[in-house]
Amino acid sequence: MTIDLHTHSRVSDGTAAPRDLVHAAATAGLDVVALTDHDTTLGWDEAAAAAVEAGIALVRGIEISTRFRGAGVHLLAYLPDATDVPLQEELARIVAGREDRVPTMLARLRELGIPATAEALAEATGGSEVTGRPHIADLLVHLGVVRDRDQAFAQYLAEGGPAFVDRYAAELVTMIGLVRGAGGVPVIAHPWGRGSAHVLDEPAIVGLKEAGLAGLEVDHLDHAPHTRAQLRAIAGRLDLVATGSSDHHGTGKTGHDLGCETTAPDQLARILDQAAGSPTTIVGKAG
Ligand code: AMP
Ligand code: ZN
Ligand code: FE
Ligand code: FE
């Protein structure tokens, strides 16, 4: 059983439509795939229909932008009720913050002599429900300013870069409560990947577990082998679920192929046991 619990479609900053992503997951030999677009549930229905067509199990998820002790932390939320009003209100606030910063980022690039207009952005990306820095990166590729997304981040978009603009993110502890309140299961994405490692030490994770945290994404390409070993040990000591996932972004992020990192079936079972949000937890083959 091959299980990949973290992927993005072009509803956020992946490159495939939710339907195509789910079919690609089946073709790649996955038995279970989670769609976890940034800050939105908008891809869920299309993905669920495709899961039935493709004969693959879908876990509905979200990767939520949060802040903890001043650092950005991504929180995966599995199977919350998409109609939960407090959760959707907070997601709407995050998405609004994302959209609000786009004109400022484009203006910064224009100050650098790059013809970054809203029209050019739409042309380069084909539009998306939730705009992220990777879309601005795609614009820079489209304009021939950089080679790929990685170079765009390195030169312009990474925190502290000339076109970086901060945005609203929910407080991590508040968001863990909102996800649980919606019946979802909160798991920290790439906890010791870029940005968040220094704030997420073991005592902090103990506190987050007390706030309702269910698990840690241990196997992720941003984690070196010794990092994974340490995180797995923490998950074991604290009785947290340990997951693994590709964080696939289509052609937008190289090396993150579907199923390149996976979650063990017993760990998925623990997530499903705790999920009380979405009326159908899994559709397709396992449903
Ligand atoms: P945003 O959520 O719009 O601030 O953009 C964050 C997304 O950009 C993350 O989910 C990553 O997929 C991607 N990202 C962040 N930093 C980098 C980087 N240094 N190089 C390439 N992609 C990055
Ligand atoms: Zn992303
Ligand atoms: Fe992330
Ligand atoms: Fe992600």
Mutation choice for ligand 1 from 153, 167, 253, CB with most ligand atoms inside 8 A: 153
pTM of this structure: 0.95
Whether residue 238 is contained in a domain is answered as yes
- CATH (domain of 136): 1.10.150.650
- Residue 61 parent element (H or E): strand 57-68
87 plus 12 within the same structural domain: yes
Whether residue 243 is contained in a domain is answered as yes
Mutation choice for ligand 1 from 73, 139, 146, 157, CB with most ligand atoms inside 8 A: 157
261 plus 177 within the same structural domain: yes
Note whether 259 and 205 are within 8 A (CB): no
Note whether 169 and 96 are within 8 A (CB): no
3-state SS assignment for residue 188 = strand
3-state SS assignment for residue 52 = helix
Q: How many CA atoms lie within 13 A of 205 on its CB side?
A: 28
147-206 confidence digits (pLDDT tens): 999 999 999 999 999 999 999 999 999 999 999 999 999 999 999 998 889 999 999 999
Give pLDDT, residue 126: 87
Q: What spacing in Å lies between the alpha carbon of 195 and ligand 1's midpoint?
A: 11
Whether residue 71 is contained in a domain is answered as yes
174 plus 260 within the same structural domain: yes
From 35, 8, 6, select the one nearest 149 (Cα to Cα). Answer: 8
Instruction: Count CB neighbours of 49 within 10 A.
Output: 16
Total domains in the fold of the chain = 2
Range of the domain at 139: 102-157
Q: What spacing in Å lies between the alpha carbon of 253 and ligand 1's midpoint?
A: 10
From 129, 185, 145, select the one nearest 13 (Cα to Cα). Answer: 129
Whether residue 203 is contained in a domain is answered as yes
- Contacts of residue 239, defined as CB under 8 A and 6 or more positions apart, other chains included, come to none
276 plus 149 within the same structural domain: no
Q: Is the pLDDT of residue 281 over 70?
A: no
Give pLDDT, residue 282: 62
Q: What angle do CA 45, 149, 92 make, to 5 degrees?
A: 40
Work out whether the CA dihedral 19, 249, 213, 215 comes out positive or negative. positive
39-87 confidence digits (pLDDT tens): 999 999 999 999 999 999 999 999 999 999 999 999 999 999 999 999 9
CB of 49 closer than 6 angstroms to any ligand 1 atom: no
Whether residue 68 is contained in a domain is answered as yes
Whether residue 162 is contained in a domain is answered as no
- CATH (domain of 18): 3.20.20.140
CB of 150 closer than 6 angstroms to any ligand 1 atom: yes
The ligand whose atoms approach the alpha carbon of 190 most closely is 3
Q: What spacing in Å lies between the alpha carbon of 195 and ligand 3's midpoint?
A: 10
